[in-house]
């Protein structure tokens, strides 16, 4: 009997060991390549970028090709009717950032979305012709090519021409998105864009965009002039006139993207190269990392609530600063160095209580010590060591829902990213102030956060995401996942995310991110929670210690890594 009991005990012990082993999940590992990689929001765009790299193109060439391809295969966010930012680290560790953000039309003004009583006219800044800023994407691609491109321009645009002309098969999700967009397209476009609305779409249908193909050919053959003058510019001006918009031929002619000094900061042993104003994203992540450097954080179950509490308290303060101080530096003196100073960040966090949430009502912008959700991101590293982080946007999904008849592309609704009235939230719930008011020619404040990290002087990570106001916090969380929580790139991207900002006073979380212990611990500190869908769609690349590359393609979409 004793022998039998011993055998049974041994079997039970073995069973427990096997059970524990089965429960322990192996970390997810992304695509590993030896030399080069592209991670973008669509597999066809990633394939285009990878093909450019295989032909000997550099990361800038690949980024330009990916951008134009996304304008075809991912029209809800990929664009030639919007704008964005490049952050670039070349193989010799020189840093560049290019601002091709949209600009307020020359006839725009501070009160253009208010009625006679000074109240906001709902949705006027979000849908229709008046919602669009002057597009910057094409000028940005040309500027980047002129400075850093290597292959012939025509070779970078031709893949997008082919995709538009020959078409591509829609997935079930893509078909559903177009079906949902039909009513808005027909409501807000001056002429029904039948290439999108002419049928009920289903999985496997081929989307052909003949008008867009012709526009891309003009850009291929004439570069900047193929968009900002000639037939394309005439189509835009005519669309505006029919729909009561204010973008003119003069607006298009005068648009210029701008090379700016990148925003550079440090976190422990890492150098952070990111985008400065008119993007708020770089300032936000540097403020958060600069504050967090004074604290120990962990993703162990017992300590993870402390991290989420700390992160939320930082977010409430930096988003209050965003509303007060961040804007286009050509129009407002953003106090960048003050906002990032150690003294300011320490003073900003004096009211932090590790045991209690701070009421947003009690948080205002900091006192300066001296006063002097639709977007897409892609990351590229080439075999020579050049790296590109590029985030571009139409703002909301399908932008303004205005399709330019004759040219076949969707216009942005970026005017909503201005403060259309101080204290009035934009579509992402972010409050704005006087610094970000509407002015002719001004670039509206953005949350886009294309970012490159170095460690020990060597390239370490390329990262960015779409997501409106959640962009900086998503990038922040992925960086922390890798640096502090020892995750690989794909694991860091897959990890569930949380988001908070100054207003509304809640913590948003993805389904599956919250367990009972975490929620009860944080509720005891005074936090309130709201469950929501996916937060961000991060596309990132991590350079591993052996020199290989690991891609992190966000499973929240059909994002894909490709390379060799």
To 5 degrees, how large is the angle CA 288–CA 289–CA 294? Answer: 105
Q: What is the DSSP letter of 168?
A: E
CA–CA distance, 217 with 407 (Å, rounded to integer)? 11
CA–CA distance, 51 with 49 (Å, rounded to integer)? 5
Confidence bin at 358 (pLDDT 50/70/90): confident
Q: Which of 557, 489, 540 is nearest to 37 (CA)?
A: 540
171 is catalytic: no
User: Does the structure show a pLDDT above 60 at 10?
Assistant: no
Neighbours of 543 (CB within 10 A): 22
How confident is the model over 486-520, as pLDDT tens digits?
Answer: 999 999 999 999 998 877 788 899 999 989 899 99
Chain centroid, CA 218 distance in Å:
28
CA–CA distance, 284 with 278 (Å, rounded to integer)? 12
Across the range 312-317, mean pLDDT stands at: 92
| Whether the predicted model's global pTM rises above the 0.85 cut | yes
DSSP-derived 3-state class of residue 128: coil
Torsion angle in degrees (nearest 10) through CA of 166, 172, 173, 174: 20
How confident is the model over 67-98, as pLDDT tens digits?
Answer: 999 999 999 999 999 999 999 999 999 999 99
Q: Decide if 108 contacts 414 (C-beta within 8 A).
A: no
CA–CA distance, 293 with 141 (Å, rounded to integer)? 36
How confident is the model over 441-455, as pLDDT tens digits?
Answer: 999 999 999 999 999
Q: At what angle do helices 59-73 and 137-148 cross, to 10 degrees?
A: 160
Neighbours of 472 (CB within 10 A): 32
% residues pLDDT > 70 (the chain): 91
- Residue 555's pLDDT is what? 96
% residues pLDDT > 90 (the chain): 81
How confident is the model over 366-393, as pLDDT tens digits?
Answer: 554 433 356 899 999 999 999 999 999 9
Q: Decide if 239 contacts 248 (C-beta within 8 A).
A: no
CA–CA distance, 195 with 407 (Å, rounded to integer)? 12
Across the range 220-234, mean pLDDT stands at: 98
User: Does the structure show a pLDDT above 90 at 396?
Assistant: no
Going by DSSP bridges, is the β-strand pair 458-463/451-455 parallel, antiparallel, or unpaired?
antiparallel
User: Does the structure show a pLDDT above 50 at 22?
Assistant: no
- Residue 429's pLDDT is what? 58
Q: Which of 264, 262, 260, 257 is nearest to 443 (CA)?
A: 257
Confidence bin at 227 (pLDDT 50/70/90): very high
Going by DSSP bridges, is the β-strand pair 375-381/387-393 parallel, antiparallel, or unpaired?
antiparallel
- Burial code (b: 16+ CB inside 10 Å, e: under 16) for 344-378 equals bbeebbeeeeeeebbebeebebbebeeeebbbbbb
Of 248, 291, 312, 375, which is the active-site residue? 375
Q: Which domains does the chain have, with CATH numbers?
A: 32-258+375-419 (no CATH), 260-372+448-563 (3.60.20.40)
User: Does the structure show a pLDDT above 90 at 408?
Assistant: yes
* Structure-block tokens of residue 275: 């985008």
User: Does the structure show a pLDDT above 90 at 24?
Assistant: no
Phi-psi region of 255 (alpha: psi -120 to 50; beta: other; left: phi over 0): beta
CA–CA distance, 112 with 244 (Å, rounded to integer)? 13
Residues 6+ apart with CB under 8 A from 158: 220
Residues 6+ apart with CB under 8 A from 375: 77, 84, 391, 392, 393, 394, 395, 448, 465, 466, 467, 468, 471
Q: At what angle do helices 59-73 and 43-54 cross, to 10 degrees?
A: 150
- Residue 397's pLDDT is what? 87
């Amino acid at each position: 009997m004793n022998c039998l009991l011993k055998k049974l005990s041994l079997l039970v012990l073995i069973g427990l060991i096997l059970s524990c082993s089965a429960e322990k999940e192996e970390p997810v590992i992304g695509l590993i390549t030896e030399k080069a990689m592209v991670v973008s929001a669509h597999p066809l765009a990633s394939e285009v970028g990878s093909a450019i790299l295989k032909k000997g193109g550099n990361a800038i060439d690949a980024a330009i090709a990916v951008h134009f391809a996304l304008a075809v295969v991912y029209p809800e966010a990929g664009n030639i009717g919007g704008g964005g930012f490049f952050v670039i680290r070349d193989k010799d560790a020189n840093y560049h950032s290019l601002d091709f953000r949209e600009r307020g039309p020359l006839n725009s003004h501070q009160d253009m979305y208010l009625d006679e009583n000074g109240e906001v006219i709902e949705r006027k800044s979000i849908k229709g012709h008046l919602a669009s800023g002057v597009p910057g994407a094409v000028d940005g691609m040309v500027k980047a090519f002129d400075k850093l491109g290597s292959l012939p321009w025509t070779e970078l645009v031709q893949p997008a021409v082919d995709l538009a002309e020959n078409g591509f098969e829609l997935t079930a999700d893509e078909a559903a998105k177009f079906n949902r967009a039909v009513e808005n397209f027909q409501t807000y476009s001056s002429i029904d864009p039948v290439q999108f609305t002419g049928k009920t779409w289903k999985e496997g249908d081929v989307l052909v965009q003949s008008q867009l193909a012709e526009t891309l050919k003009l850009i291929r053959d004439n570069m900047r002039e193929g968009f900002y003058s000639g037939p394309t510019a005439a189509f835009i001006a005519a669309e505006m006139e029919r729909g009561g918009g204010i973008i003119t031929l003069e607006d298009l002619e005068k648009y210029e993207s701008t090379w700016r000094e990148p925003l550079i900061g440090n976190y422990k042993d890492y150098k952070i190269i990111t985008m400065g104003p008119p993007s708020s994203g770089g300032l936000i992540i540097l403020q958060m990392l600069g504050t967090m450097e004074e604290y120990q954080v962990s993703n162990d179950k017992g300590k993870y609530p402390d991290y989420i509490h700390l992160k939320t308290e930082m977010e409430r303060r930096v988003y209050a600063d965003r509303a007060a101080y961040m804007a286009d530096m050509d129009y407002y003196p953003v106090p960048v160095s003050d906002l990032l100073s150690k003294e300011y960040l320490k003073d900003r966090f004096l009211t932090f209580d590790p045991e209690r949430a701070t009421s947003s009502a009690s948080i205002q912008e900091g006192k300066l010590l001296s006063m002097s959700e639709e977007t897409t991101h892609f990351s590229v590293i080439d075999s020579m060591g050049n790296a590109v982080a590029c985030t571009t946007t139409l703002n909301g999904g399908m932008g303004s829902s205005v399709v330019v008849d004759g040219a076949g592309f969707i216009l942005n609704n970026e005017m909503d990213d201005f403060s259309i009235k101080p204290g009035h939230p934009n579509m992402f719930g972010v409050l704005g102030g006087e610094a970000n008011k509407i002015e002719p020619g001004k670039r509206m404040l953005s949350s886009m956060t294309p970012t490159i990290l170095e460690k020990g002087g060597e390239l370490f990570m390329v990262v960015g995401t779409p997501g409106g106001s959640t962009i900086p916090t998503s990038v922040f969380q992925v960086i922390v996942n890798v640096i502090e929580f020892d995750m690989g790139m794909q694991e860091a991207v897959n990890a569930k995310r949380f988001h908070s900002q100054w207003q509304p006073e809640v913590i948003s979380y993805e389904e599956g991110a919250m367990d009972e212990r975490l929620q009860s611990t944080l509720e005891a500190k005074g936090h309130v929670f709201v469950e929501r869908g996916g937060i961000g769609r991060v596309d990132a690349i991590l350079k591993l210690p052996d020199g290989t590359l690991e891609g992190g393609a966000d499973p929240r979409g059909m994002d894909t890594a490709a390379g060799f």
